[in-house]
A = this chain, B = another copy of it.
Amino acid sequence: MRKRIAVLPGDGIGPEVTEAAVKVLQVIGRRFKHTFDVEYGSIGGEAIDKYKTPLPDETIELCQQSDAILLGAVGGPKWDKNPAELRPEKGLLAIRKHFDLFANLRPVIAVPSLLKASPLKEEVVKDVDLMIVRELTGGLYFGEPSKRTEKAAFDTLVYTKKEIERIVEKAFELARLRKGKVTSVDKENVLQSSKLWREVVEEKKKGYPDVEVEHMLVDSAAMQLVTNPCAFDVVVTENMFGDILSDEASVITGSLGVLPSASIRADGFGMYEPIHGTAPDIAGQGKANPAATILSVAMMLKYSFGLEEECAAIEEAVNAVFEDGFYTADLASPADRVLSTNEWTDKVVDE
């Protein structure tokens, strides 16, 4: 198989972690006889510095000619005070919308050797294995009108039936490949958009009689993610609820720094990125933990290229390195030897 991958390192530790992930990707290519052509593009803060826009046309073009996108991270204090259109995260929102990356997959898995870093009791989180499927191109993020007047401000939460249908279908399909359960999260007792959402789920579930379905209000979901996270398999929800719940879910197992994500389109084209930020305080020092970006490459292999075995090879290697007690600075206990980004990546490569 031959694939072209657009790599957008972004800001802060983005360049280091994408470099590590590309290294692993190339090792997988050699081992499984695939060719991955990697080309680099600009996004976020460094794009603002160079091109005066967080998402230059060159980058869009590069991505258009590629089969998938690997993103590092964007943002940093340097651009925090910029006007809205010159903020790094606008690049992120724009690329999602431009490529219609409507399905954001955010898996959360308990890693036994990392549970000690969890704020939750081990017995509550040790069996967590869930995936939040967040709608990424609709709702309050892009609804019009979104405006200011002298005395008030307005945002619009709008969903078409079609937009809901495709994300709900995605969730059902993912559940089939996992534990067979979908929790649909809405605020049906308050929002019109949630009533439509719930109707679509009720309609779609007829096509997936093998999948168990439950509806949950967003406030209740915010509680259950803390009190009983093991009860979830696939959680599907709209954009803003998904933003909040996926971040909440990302901290329960203590593995925030190692969680990957995928943002995909119907045809499989997708963007893959770690969910952690740019960590400007440690950027450029070889201290960053590349696990999340490496696992994002694993997701790319599976969801964009259908390479399940190759994906599993990476996931197993990462887990093995953790189990052998090798950590970067963010995860190491005082007694552990601390590995640099490169050293840790090489351990994964060895596995």
On A, residues with C-beta under 8 Å from B are 87, 89, 93, 118-121, 124, 140-141, 143, 146-148, 151-162, 187, 189-193, 195-197, 218-220, 222-223, 225-228, 240-241, 243-248, 250-252, 256
* Closest chain B residue to A143, Cβ basis: B154
User: In the complex, what residues of B have CB within 8 A of residue A256's CB?
Assistant: 223
Given contacts A146-B192, A187-B240, A190-B140, contact A151 B155 (CB under 8 A): no
CB distance from A140 to the nearest CB of B (A): 6
What is the oligomeric copy number?
Answer: 2
CB distance from A83 to the nearest CB of B (A): 11
Would A154 and B192 count as touching, CB distance under 8 A? yes
User: In the complex, what residues of B have CB within 8 A of residue A153's CB?
Assistant: 158-159, 191-193, 195-197
CA distance A157 to B189 in the complex (A): 16
Q: List 21 A-B contacts (CB under 8 A).
A: A93-B190, A119-B124, A119-B226, A119-B227, A119-B228, A120-B226, A148-B196, A151-B160, A151-B162, A153-B158, A153-B193, A153-B197, A154-B193, A155-B158, A155-B191, A187-B243, A219-B246, A219-B247, A222-B245, A223-B248, A225-B248
CA distance A336 to B118 in the complex (A): 30
* Closest chain B residue to A248, Cβ basis: B222
Would A219 and B192 count as touching, CB distance under 8 A? no
Closest 7 CB pairs of A and B: A153-B196, A219-B247, A222-B248, A155-B157, A153-B193, A152-B160, A153-B192
* Closest chain B residue to A125, Cβ basis: B119
Would B154 and A154 count as touching, CB distance under 8 A? no
